[in-house]
Amino acid sequence: MNLEPQSPITQAELQQSILAFTVLACALSIPLILLGPLDPLSYSSFELIAAAGLFWAILSMLAFRYFWDIYYQYIYPDWLRRLGGVNFVLYGVIAWGMWLIIRETDNSVVLLFLFLGGLEGVLEHIFGIYALDVVNKVPWLNGLKTFPILLFSFVEYIVYWCIVLWISLAFRALM
């Protein structure tokens, strides 16, 4: 199966992706915000840490499996390919840090959590753009401007962290 784009992504395609992820982020986050099920003071951080670890480890393993040849091979050594599951620990720690921040507020904890998640995505993409030089090394990213990539990463990671919140609610219901 050839997943590699035949040509670089255009700015218009990136803008469409931003719009699609924004709609998805709204669809996933609005129920969380309206129902208010995430009260970090009413339960431990265990569910959130476990959900984040599980989600990000699975996502990383799938990404390394299916997108290594079209993306990751350009920026990482081959041995790293087998370490996707390590993200269970890394993102568990990130989730715990975000939980520590949001538990200090009484206002819109879901919004703050998702904002922090989007910000975390932007920071990762800044590292990718400037330290790993992905825009120049990955052929189908050539020519993209930095700001739209960072905007995409913000809404992309809000979607991911929404999924983590939904998984944490499922864990909470099961425990």
Give the model confidence (pLDDT) of 15-54 as tens digits: 999 999 999 999 999 988 887 655 544 567 888 999 999 9
Measured distance CA(56)–CA(52) in Å, rounded: 6
The pLDDT of residue 152 is above 70: yes
Mean pLDDT of 88-100: 93
Confidence of residue 102 (pLDDT cuts 50, 70, 90): confident
Backbone angles phi, psi at 54, to 5 degrees: -65, -50
Lowest mean pLDDT among 90-94, 102-106, 112-116, 127-131: 102-106
Task: State how far the alpha carbon of 93 is from the alpha carbons of 56, 57, 85, 87, 99, in Å.
Answer: 11, 13, 14, 9, 10
Measured distance CA(81)–CA(154) in Å, rounded: 25
The pLDDT of residue 1 is above 50: no
* Residue 72 confidence (pLDDT): 94
User: pLDDT tens digit string along 114-141?
Assistant: 999 999 999 999 999 999 999 999 999 9
Q: What is the pTM of this model?
A: 0.91
